[in-house]
Amino acid sequence: MPAPVLLRHASSADHDPGPHPEQPARIVAIERELVRRGPGLGWETRDSSAASRDVLETIHPAPYVSFIEALCASGGGQIDLDTAVSRGSWLAACHGVGGACDAVDLLLGGDGPGAAASAHRPPGHHAEPDRAMGFCLFANIAIAARRALDVHGLERVLVVDWDVHHGNGTNDIFRGSDQVLFASIHGSPLYPGTGPASDVGIGRGEGYTVNLPVPAGSGDETWVSLVEHVVRPLARAYEPQLVLVSAGFDAHVDDPLAGCRVSDAGFAAMAASARLLAEDVGAPLGIVLEGGYDLAALARCFADTLEVAGGATTPAAPDLPVHPLATEALARLVARWPALSGL
């Protein structure tokens, strides 16, 4: 099988929101760490393409896309308290979407790698179809999932979101769909305040939105258990044809924005679970960078994620007790997903 591919682009440095935790240095730190680890990591790096307007408009209404483009062209400005753009943000954001879409195209294009990743900024999982928010302009991973359905003809895509903040954009975009199962672990209460366990999707999508909020202070024992003991068996029940991960690293104990306590080993364990759940169902695995604001922790944990997700050997499954929140989640989910009974 070909080497796993990491998509990146120099334009990520040109999205300048001013003094801000979501800063160009994030990608610099990641790329430095990948160089430091050397070719032994086994990932091939490629420049991403820029998504076209047609691709952006598979999720975002044309007037919204035009608003972002015009604001950037005018030199930029503040969109809300958290979210600002500069002249370079337009191209950076188009590559952010393009990187996620390129990853999907590689994974589903035949004779592709088993794993691909996209390391761009700005992130995307807070972006609503017609609203930038939470440092996000376009819904990178949602557009890529949409592409897997529309262009590649898939019927079931799993999006796992382990950023510490709830991926409200992805949640809302696929709330009514059974073709994308969105499973999110996130701190609560925390920005943006969405994603209660009771939000399970609507209509055909009921049961295909799985929100797993965790209290402040939660660490590996909670986060890893929810991925290994809830999301992994859920994936076996759903049988996705593609697994995408909204990989944020802001649940890290060193992160300045949130109050969770995941360690480096915890992120590596979640990456192991993600790889194993993809292998369980024979689906390729795509990793899309979201948040993560302690530069050193972000760089280490992103590189570890690539190492585990794309390494030559299958990692061992995380070995830890089933956390009470995982037991509760399984009890909630079993009505819709009977295969989860008895776990």
Q: Which stretch binds Zn ion (CB under 5 A): 2-10, 149-157, 161-169, 225-233?
A: 161-169
Q: Which residue among 9, 120, 125, 126 is the active-site one?
A: 126
Beta carbon nearer to Zn ion, 228 or 290: 290
Beta carbon nearer to Zn ion, 201 or 248: 248
What are the E-state strand segments in the chain?
5-8, 44-47, 76-78, 84-86, 115-118, 157-161, 180-187, 209-214, 242-247, 285-289
Q: Which stretch binds Zn ion (CB under 5 A): 146-154, 163-171, 230-238, 302-310?
A: 163-171
Beta carbon nearer to Zn ion, 58 or 83: 83
Q: Which stretch binds Zn ion (CB under 5 A): 40-48, 85-93, 157-165, 171-179?
A: 157-165
Residue 260 CA to residue 262 CA, distance in Å, equals 6
CB of 43 to Zn ion, least distance (A): 23
Residue 324 CA to residue 311 CA, distance in Å, equals 31
Beta carbon nearer to Zn ion, 190 or 276: 190
Q: Indicate which single residue of 165, 166, 175, 323 sits in contact with Zn ion (rule: CB under 5 A).
A: 165
The binding track of 273-312 with respect to Zn ion, each residue x by CB under 5 A or -, is ------------------x---------------------
CB of 22 to Zn ion, least distance (A): 9
**Does 195 contact Zn ion by CB under 5 A?**
no
**Does 163 contact Zn ion by CB under 5 A?**
yes
Residue 296 CA to residue 302 CA, distance in Å, equals 10
Segment 248-277, which members bind Zn ion (CB under 5 A)? Answer: 248, 250
Instruction: Dihedral sign for Cα 15, 20, 25, 26, please.
Output: negative
The CA-based angle 128-133-136, given to 5 degrees, is: 85
Q: Which stretch binds Zn ion (CB under 5 A): 90-98, 102-110, 159-167, 270-278?
A: 159-167
Residue linked to tokens 């790698």:
113
CB of 177 to Zn ion, least distance (A): 23
Residue 44's DSSP bridge partners are: 5
**Does 82 contact Zn ion by CB under 5 A?**
no
Residue 197 CA to residue 50 CA, distance in Å, equals 36
CB of 143 to Zn ion, least distance (A): 18
Tell me the residue nearest to Zn ion as measured from the CB. Answer: 291
The closest of 276, 21, 45 to 164, measured between CA atoms, is 21
176: DSSP letter? T
Is position 125 annotated as part of the catalytic site? no
> Concatenated DSSP letters for 54-110?
HHHTTTS-HHHHHHHHHHHHTTEEESSSS-EEETTHHHHHHHHHHHHHHHHHHHHSS
Count residues near Zn ion (CB under 5 A). Answer: 5
Q: Which helix (H) or strand (E) holds 275?
A: helix 264-281
Beta carbon nearer to Zn ion, 160 or 276: 160
| Phi and psi torsions of 111, nearest 5° | 55, 30
Asked if 303 and 27 touch (Cβ cutoff 8 Å), the reply is no
Residue 335 CA to residue 341 CA, distance in Å, equals 9
Q: Which stretch binds Zn ion (CB under 5 A): 38-46, 47-55, 94-102, 158-166?
A: 158-166
Task: Note the residues at the interface with Zn ion (CB under 5 A).
Answer: 163, 165, 248, 250, 291
- Which residues participate in catalysis according to the annotation? 126
